[in-house]
Amino acid sequence: MIKKIEHIGIAVQDLGKSEQLFEKLLGKKPYKKEDIQSEAVTTSFFKVGDQKLELLHASSDDSPIKKFIDKRKEGVHHIALHVESIQKEVERLEPLGFEFISTTPKKGADNKMIVFLHPKTTNGVLVELCEEI
């Protein structure tokens, strides 16, 4: 079951400048910064009420975030949905025609297991399912 929007991921070219921009906008500093080596990304999280904004910065040239920015520029990268069970959601959504980039959950940022739905089956929006570890 999908419980809520967990966070919105924003791809950024310069993490330091982007953190400063969002600190001014939101009036607070990020609560967490994390390197996710498996995704070649550095993340920075801001709380906004019960939800979060996640800044995503490529930590290598072969990062999916670098490829995204090279192709589409900086901006909204994905919308993450908090679920009770990734496995149950995969089993529910696949028969409904949704395709996944991978159905095997992997460790993501902020103490979550994650999978991504392919944007071609979600109106061009990359959707991440997140389950608390």
pLDDT tens sequence across 22-61 = 999 999 999 999 999 989 999 999 999 999 999 999 999 9
- Tracing tokens 């975030």 back to the chain, one arrives at 65
What is the CATH classification number for the domain harbouring 99?
3.10.180.10
- The distance in angstroms from the start CA to the end CA of the chain is 16
- Banded pLDDT at 21 (limits 50, 70, 90): very high
How many domains is the chain partitioned into structurally?
1
On whether the CB atoms of residues 78 and 116 are closer than 8 A, the answer is yes
For residue 38, the model assigns a pLDDT of 87
Alpha-carbon distance of 62 to 107, in angstroms, equals: 19
| Residues 97-111 pLDDT 10s | 999 999 999 999 999
Domain that holds residue 9: 2-132
Alpha-carbon distance of 12 to 35, in angstroms, equals: 15
- Tracing tokens 């570890």 back to the chain, one arrives at 133
β-sheet with 32-36: strand ranges across: 32-36, 41-48, 51-58, 2-11, 75-83, 127-132, 112-117, 106-107
For residue 49, the model assigns a pLDDT of 93
pTM, entire model:
0.93
Check whether 132 has a pLDDT greater than 90.
yes
